[in-house]
Amino acid sequence: MRIIPAIDIIGGNCVRLSQGKYDSVKQYHNNPVDVAKNFEDAGIKYLHLVDLDGAKSKKIMNHKVLENICLQTSLHVDFGGGLQSDEDIRIAFDCGAKQITGGSIVVKKPEIFEEWLLKYGNTKIILGADAKNENIAVSGWEEDSKLDIYSYIQKYQKKGIQYVISTDVSKDGMLSGPSFELYNKILNQNNSLFLIASGGIHSLEDLFKLKEAKLEGAIIGKAIYEGYIKIEDLGKMSN
């Protein structure tokens, strides 16, 4: 299972939100590159990098952070937040992202996302399927699309999607454990999917349970920054 620490960026700083609410922002570090280097030094191979400024402004904003992390580490970075145009995705890949995650654009401009899937291939394009009451949440989770998450994922799996990142919005940043029921339901309906869990992870036990449930990966954020999980332990799980 991929062990994937998260770095969320606002104003060039490493921050975390709770349930996606911008008024809950908490800053942890002013140099995301140093944070990424610490992950790599611990033996971690993957990184989930989110441009929260981009998500809010609907265009890529913190591409320099992405570029500096990719230049100064060998981490496999998946990048999301504000990718709304062909120019945005070009910048992300030019700056070193190995994969990108499409979230709101899949709902708002599905034809563009499907073109990306054809152009770049399904190993580089991740479907962001974030859930609020089992419906797809978009626009920084401020909007309920009324789209059922299960049929939504099935639709894009038929179009070639392999990788899906799914966050249960109610769990994100709450350190209350991941949404095991949601992930089991998704995998029961889409058993060939490479599903990556995000949100709520609080302990190594949570990670072992996700691994047992056959998740492709797990994204860990606040539990690292608040000291509930040590990066050294994550590094051991990565090897």
The residues annotated with a catalytic role in the active site are 8, 130
> How many Cβ atoms sit within 10 Å of the Cβ of residue 50?
26
What are the phi and psi torsion angles at 160 (to 5°)?
Answer: 115, -5
Helices 204-212 and 231-238: angle between axes, nearest 10 degrees: 20
Inter-residue long-range contacts of 142-147, CB under 8 Å, 24+ positions, other chains counted? 142/20, 145/107, 147/107
> Which residues pair with residue 6 across a beta bridge?
48
